[in-house]
């Protein structure tokens, strides 16, 4: 495999600490922001809700609690089309009334005095789910880990444009590490390893100072060249992978949610989002309430410089297309990108010329070219035999394809299909 070097496209200044976005006057809270079933709606039209109040209760194993990000009145229970396909119920809240927590001094619970089950219960009750993948509830994610395995904190953003995790780690280093200690205690994990960018960033010295000398065990820092972080991450398994002895990967965005839930007893109602791309006037990372329409955040970043060709929820390689600017921020949304034609480098789809670039760069070592030929030729069995199911949907084959074939998109549509 030949390693692919992605251009970082992050030529804007990061503001640390991360500024808060304006509160939405109208929040749209999806009842499905996690893997598993949508949460069951616990409010009705006209109800008064307070900040952090439960809007939805889990329905089934991989479902999770959903809370109100703002105080206000339930305006309606609507149906929203999800960017990944399908639709789900959403609670629309009109901002009014006073805040219970905003601007007040946060409570501080001493987690070391808490029982294991109470901590897990707090995490679950505050609606904490995986923040970078599909949104598995955290109690599920930690359940399968073995005692003694490492905790890995990828404090960097492997995909171009995105700086969410970097910004969180830089502005809340101590809290991220404290949350990692909580998980370490819960799972009886071994070392804590932090992956950071190889190039020196602002505040890096403080991070090292905070990370190095610590109470129980040292925290290890590993530097990774950002241009290669994407492919390295793919090779080392995904978030919460259950392979024997594999480390628990916890993104800083998830760790601050754990911190807020356990130590400050706050529901998971806000998250950090990168708003970037060539069509955005002032790219930045913002701390936004869940339910804030992405249009509001784009407005706060100075609006559009030009009409974007593509509007993306998430990273440029693995994100989802946004249909409009009303899509709300969810627990798993790390980035909003508005991309211009020179950035997308879209071109006419042409026939495969068998150049082999897809095969050369595939991080899991399958042959996208041959699999595509099988799928287009109506031979799904042959495609599965060639390793279609080991595809991790990283998008690299489609990224490099000089004929702009929709390889990974086609694979995603066929994987898991009956042989």
Partner 1 sequence: MKATRRVLVSGAPFIHGARTAARDAWFVSALLVLVLVWESLLSGWGSLIVAGVAVGTALLAELLQSGLRRRFELDDGSGFLTGLLIALALPPGLPIYVPIVAAAFAILVVKGAFGGLGNNWMNPALGGLAFAWLDWPSQFTTALHSASPLAPLLPNLPHLLVGFDEWASAALNSLLFQPLGATMPSGYFASLLGLGAGGVPGVPMGLVLALSTILIGKRIIHWQIPAAMFAFFALPTWIFGDVASTGFFSGDALGHSLAGPFFLVAFFMATDPVTSPSRQARMIIFGGASGVLAFLFVYFGATALAPILAVLFMNTLMPFIDESASRLLRGRRG
- Asked if residue 400 binds partner 1 (CB under 8 A), the reply is yes
Among 135, 158, 252, 319, binds partner 1 (CB under 8 A): 319
Minimum CB separation of residue 150 from partner 1 in Å reads 29
User: How far, in Å, CA of 237 to CA of 26, rounded?
Assistant: 38
| Stretch of 236-244, 248-256, 375-383, 407-415 contacting partner 1, by CB under 8 A | 407-415
Rule CB under 8 A: which of 358-397 touch partner 1? 359-360, 393, 395-396
Among 152, 162, 311, 336, binds partner 1 (CB under 8 A): 311
- Asked if residue 259 binds partner 1 (CB under 8 A), the reply is no
User: How far, in Å, CA of 92 to CA of 73, rounded?
Assistant: 8
Minimum CB separation of residue 408 from partner 1 in Å reads 7
**Which residues are CB-contacts of 409 (< 8 A; sequence separation ≥ 6)?**
398
Q: Which is nearer to partner 1, 113 or 416 (CB)?
A: 416
Nearest CA among 309, 365, 363, 366 for reference residue 338: 309
Distance (Å) of CA 243 to CA 15, 229, 252? 37, 21, 22
User: How far, in Å, CA of 227 to CA of 34, rounded?
Assistant: 30
Among 44, 238, 323, 419, binds partner 1 (CB under 8 A): 323
User: How far, in Å, CA of 104 to CA of 100, rounded?
Assistant: 8
Among 103, 245, 351, 378, binds partner 1 (CB under 8 A): 351
- Tell me the DSSP string of 207-225: HHHHHSS-SSS-EEEEEE-
Minimum CB separation of residue 21 from partner 1 in Å reads 15
- Asked if residue 356 binds partner 1 (CB under 8 A), the reply is yes
Q: Which is nearer to partner 1, 104 or 348 (CB)?
A: 348
Look up tokens 């995490």; give the residue: 123
- Asked if residue 345 binds partner 1 (CB under 8 A), the reply is yes
Among 131, 132, 164, 408, binds partner 1 (CB under 8 A): 408
User: How far, in Å, CA of 206 to CA of 122, rounded?
Assistant: 30
Classify 146 as helix, strand or coil. coil
Minimum CB separation of residue 370 from partner 1 in Å reads 9
- Asked if residue 339 binds partner 1 (CB under 8 A), the reply is yes
User: How far, in Å, CA of 288 to CA of 285, rounded?
Assistant: 9
Report the run of H or E that residue 414 belongs to, with start and end.
helix 407-414
- Asked if residue 401 binds partner 1 (CB under 8 A), the reply is yes
Structure tokens, 46: 């006209």
Nearest CA among 260, 328, 262 for reference residue 290: 328
| Stretch of 212-220, 256-264, 267-275, 312-320 contacting partner 1, by CB under 8 A | 312-320
For partner 1, the binding residues (CB under 8 A) are: 160, 293, 295, 304, 307-312, 314-326, 337, 339, 343-348, 350-357, 359-360, 393, 395-396, 398-404, 406, 408-409, 412
């Amino acid at each position: 495999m030949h390693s692919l070097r992605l251009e970082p496209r992050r030529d804007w200044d990061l503001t640390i600490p991360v500024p808060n976005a304006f509160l939405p006057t109208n929040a749209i809270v999806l009842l499905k922001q996690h893997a598993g079933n949508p949460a069951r709606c616990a409010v009705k039209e006209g109800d008064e809700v307070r900040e952090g109040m439960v809007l939805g209760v889990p329905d089934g194993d991989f479902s999770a609690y959903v809370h109100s990000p703002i105080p206000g009145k339930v305006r309606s229970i609507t149906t929203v089309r999800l960017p990944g396909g399908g639709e789900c119920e959403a609670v629309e809240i009109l901002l009014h009334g006073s805040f219970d927590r905003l601007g007040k001094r946060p409570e501080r619970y001493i987690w070391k005095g808490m029982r294991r089950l109470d901590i897990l219960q707090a995490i679950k009750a505050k609606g904490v789910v995986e923040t970078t993948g599909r949104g598995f509830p955290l109690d599920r994610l930690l359940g399968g880990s073995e005692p003694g395995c490492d905790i890995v904190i990828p404090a960097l953003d492997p995909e171009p444009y995105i700086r969410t995790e970097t910004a969180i780690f830089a502005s809340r280093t101590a809290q991220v590490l404290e949350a990692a200690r909580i998980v370490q205690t819960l799972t009886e994990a071994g070392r804590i390893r932090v992956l950071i960018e190889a190039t020196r960033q602002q505040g890096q010295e403080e991070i090292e100072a905070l990370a190095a000398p610590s109470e129980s065990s040292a925290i290890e820092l590993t530097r990774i060249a950002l241009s290669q972080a994407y492919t390295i991450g793919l090779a080392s398994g995904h978030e919460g992978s259950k392979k024997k002895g594999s480390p628990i990967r916890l993104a800083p965005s998830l760790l601050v949610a754990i911190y807020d839930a356990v130590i400050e007893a706050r529901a998971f109602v806000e998250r950090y989002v990168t708003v970037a791309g060539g069509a955005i006037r002032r790219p930045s990372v913002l701390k936004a309430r869940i339910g804030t329409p992405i249009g509001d955040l784009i407005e706060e970043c100075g609006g559009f410089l030009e009409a974007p060709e593509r509007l993306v929820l998430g990273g440029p390689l693995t994100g989802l297309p946004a249909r409009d600017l009303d899509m709300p921020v969810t627990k798993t949304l790390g980035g909003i990108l508005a991309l211009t034609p020179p950035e997308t480098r879209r071109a006419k789809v042409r026939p495969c010329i068998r150049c082999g670039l897809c095969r050369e760069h595939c991080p899991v070592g399958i042959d996208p070219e041959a699999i595509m030929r099988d799928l287009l030729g109506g031979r799904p069995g042959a495609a599965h035999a060639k390793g279609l199911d080991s595809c991790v949907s990283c998008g690299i084959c489609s990224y490099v394809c000089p004929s702009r074939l929709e390889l990974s998109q086609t694979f995603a549509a066929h994987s898991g299909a009956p042989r």
